[in-house]
Amino acid sequence: MNSKYIILILAVLVIISAYMFTPKGNYETLQIAGSTSVQPVVEKLVDKFQETHPNVHINVQGGGSGLGIRTVNQGIVQIGMSSEQLAPEDTTGLTAYQIGKDGIVIAVNNANPVNNLTTDELREIFSGNITNWNQLGGPNEEIHVIVRESGSGTMQSFQNLVMGQTKIEKNAIVQSSTESVKQAVKQDPGAIGFISLVNLDSNVKALKVNRVYPSQDTISNGSYTLQRPFTLLVKGQPEGITREFIDWVLSPEGQAIVKQTKVVPVNATT
Amino acid sequence: MKDRLGEFLIEKGLFITAISSVVIILLIIVFIFSEGLPAMESYGFLNFIFGSTWDPSSGQYGILPMIVGSMGITLLALIFSVPLSLLCAIFMAEIAPKTVRKIMKPVIETLAGIPSVVYGFFGLIVLVPLMRTYFGGTGFSMLTASIILTVMILPTIVSVSEDSIRSVPSEYKEASLALGATHWQTIKNVIFPAAVPGVITAIILGMGRAIGETLAVIMVAGNVAQFPSSIMDPVRALTSNIALEMGYATGMHYSALFATAIVLFMLIMILLVIANYFHYKKKINVGGGYL
């Protein structure tokens, strides 16, 4: 009876000590956290990077652009991901590496006949001044505005790029992720929302903004204006494995993978 | 001697495990209050509770719309689910043949085991378009959220109240039947009243789950921080408010979210006190109630 307990306790102790004293010097770890829009791109990059660097352990976490900036500042992670246009005071002490440009796509239901909106019309819609699609040449259908939660990088970019100082109407439905915005738009003939170009698929219809259709080309040449940078942030100057990873991401090989994810590559440091 | 030492160790061991849950709750309370009180102090407790505008970007932290939202969703869900689940519990405990009960019990318990994200997704894909088609608007509404919650709390209320109905002593039932009462009269006037304290416990548990549910509500309620003018309007629950913005919040906003948690905590305490009062009162009235 007693020996059973002793064996159990010994087993637990052995497991704990084995865990504690495992040599960790064999591999390096790299922590990455931040914007959920940048996350899928970085995850793809990490997969490829680890093929050539099997000894590096890389963790990629979401949490939002704000969290990315905060945790990299506090030294909790080595690399933060951001999908917002960064103000200079946000990045004091940080080095920013732009890895690509993403478009913000205005998405409506596939059944919606409206094809083009101007930025002014968008501002009027999202601030609640235009409330019916027939005011825009569409059917007599109430407009249902769908936005993201305050703090989301996509939401903040939309606010900066389209709304400016105008407030988004308070009755707008709030969805907590790009996928649920897409779901809501897909089901509702009167809905309008905004998503990242990376997530665009046939479930929703992308609108032309100021007569330009969002695509990698129009974002790359700057004619589609609703675009935002995807940035990796490092505290101070990157060293060691962090440096290696960022250099690789900005290399032609890394940028080719960025391009595969529908993000427009930029090979430049900002 | 050895036995007494064993007894002593077991006694103290049990005491420590029992006290640990209390300690954990206390630690959580201390943490929530220490993080949330700064916001309440600097913004003003009354402004915070009774403010009607939630707009962190312009420094407005009024959570009354969300209190109304949480209460509204919970109340509606209880109105739908209490009659449904009580009748179901009575059927299962008193009327259903053994074979039917053997099938129904695990089915209802499975309902409790489905993760809330699945309920939310079901609501988003199936219920929201249905609501839009039949009631207009966006489909995201207080009613949609409460229907999802109704299904989620149903199994809790059914199984706990069924247990309490079954544990009413068989003498009560036999005596009533012997006096010439019909089966339904017995259920209505003898068995159910004797089981009421247990039924109230079941409703409290269901209510607790409804008010604390986050994910499914986020997906179907629309999350608009405005007073709803009807049950067809989108609302934001207190829990959703915390979950939606936690990842981004810093400083005052961060603290305001913890203050939201304090309010949620107090709300649940008040509801528990009210429910316990009724539980206690009914118990006295019944006299021989066993639960």
A259 touches chain B (CB under 8 A): no
- Mean of the pLDDT values across residues A132-158? 88
pLDDT exceeding 70 applies to what percent of chain A? Answer: 96
**Cβ contacts of B211 within 8 Å, gap of 6 or more:** B70, B74, B239, B264, B267, B268, B271
According to the model, what pLDDT value does residue A269 have? Answer: 40
Q: Record the pTM.
A: 0.79
- Mean of the pLDDT values across residues A107-123? 92
Of A65, A67, A174, the CB nearest to B222: A174
Distance from CA of B129 to the nearest CA of A (A): 6
pLDDT exceeding 70 applies to what percent of chain B? Answer: 96
Check CB contact under 8 Å for A151 and B247.
Answer: yes
According to the model, what pLDDT value does residue B2 have? Answer: 67
B291 pLDDT more than 50: no
Where does the pLDDT of residue B75 fall: very low under 50, low under 70, confident under 90, or very high at 90 and above? very high
- Mean of the pLDDT values across residues B155-166? 92
Check CB contact under 8 Å for B224 and A172.
Answer: yes
Give domain A103-220's CATH number out of 3.40.47.10, 3.40.50.880, 3.40.190.10, 3.40.50.10320.
Answer: 3.40.190.10
pLDDT exceeding 90 applies to what percent of chain A? Answer: 31
Return the residue in A175, A181, A186 with the most chain B beta carbons within 10 A, the one to mutate for interface testing.
A175
HEC states along chain A? CHHHHHHHHHHHHHHHHHHHHCCCCCCEEEEEEECCCCHHHHHHHHHHHHHHCCCEEEEEEEECHHHHHHHHHCCCCCEEEECCCCCHHHHCCEEEEEEEEEEEEEEECCCCCCCEECHHHHHHHHCCCCCEHHHHCCCCCECEEEEECCCCHHHHHHHHHHHCCCCCCCCCEEECCHHHHHHHHHHCCCEEEEEEHHHCCCCCEECEECCECCCHHHHHCCCCCCEEEEEEEEECCCCHHHHHHHHHHHCHHHHHHHHHCCCEECCCCC
Contact B76/B175 with Cβ under 8 angstroms?
A: no
Read off the DSSP letter of residue B9: H
Cβ contacts of A65 on chain B, cutoff 8 Å: 248
Q: What is the pLDDT of residues B217-273, one digit of tens each?
A: 999 999 998 899 888 999 999 999 999 888 777 778 889 999 999 999 998 888 888
Distance from CA of A224 to the nearest CA of B (A): 28
Q: Report d(CA A60, CA A137) in Å as an integer.
A: 45
The CATH architecture of the domain made up of B65-290 is: Orthogonal Bundle (1.10)
According to the model, what pLDDT value does residue B4 have? Answer: 86
Return the residue in A90, A145, A173 with the most chain B beta carbons within 10 A, the one to mutate for interface testing.
A173
Return the residue in B244, B254, B257 with the most chain A beta carbons within 10 A, the one to mutate for interface testing.
B244
Distance from CA of B74 to the nearest CA of A (A): 20
Give ∠ CA B175-B179-B181 in degrees, rounded to 5.
100
Query: Which residue does chain B place closest to A151, by CA atoms?
Result: B248
Check CB contact under 8 Å for B125 and A183.
Answer: yes
According to the model, what pLDDT value does residue B289 have? Answer: 47
**Cβ contacts of B170 within 8 Å, gap of 6 or more:** none
B250 touches chain A (CB under 8 A): yes
According to the model, what pLDDT value does residue A15 have? Answer: 83
CATH 3.40.190.10 residue window(s) in chain A = 3-101+229-265, 103-220
Cβ contacts of A70 on chain B, cutoff 8 Å: 250
Distance from CA of A172 to the nearest CA of B (A): 7
Where does the pLDDT of residue A222 fall: very low under 50, low under 70, confident under 90, or very high at 90 and above? confident
According to the model, what pLDDT value does residue A24 have? Answer: 55
Where does the pLDDT of residue B1 fall: very low under 50, low under 70, confident under 90, or very high at 90 and above? low
Nearest CA among A128, A99, A88, A112 for reference residue A259? A99
More confident residue, A144 or A93: A144
Q: Report d(CA A153, CA A147) in Å as an integer.
A: 12
Check CB contact under 8 Å for A184 and B124.
Answer: yes
Give ∠ CA A238-A243-A245 in degrees, rounded to 5.
135
A67 touches chain B (CB under 8 A): yes
According to the model, what pLDDT value does residue A147 have? Answer: 93
Check CB contact under 8 Å for B245 and A150.
Answer: yes
B214 pLDDT more than 80: yes
More confident residue, A199 or B279: A199
Contact A258/A81 with Cβ under 8 angstroms?
A: no
Where does the pLDDT of residue A67 fall: very low under 50, low under 70, confident under 90, or very high at 90 and above? confident
Instruction: Indicate the CATH number for domain A3-101+229-265.
Output: 3.40.190.10
Cβ contacts of B59 on chain A, cutoff 8 Å: none
- Mean of the pLDDT values across residues B84-109? 92
According to the model, what pLDDT value does residue B290 have? Answer: 46
A127 pLDDT more than 70: yes
According to the model, what pLDDT value does residue A171 have? Answer: 85
- Mean of the pLDDT values across residues B74-99? 94
Q: Note which residues in 140-199 of chain B have CB less than 8 A from chain A.
A: 140
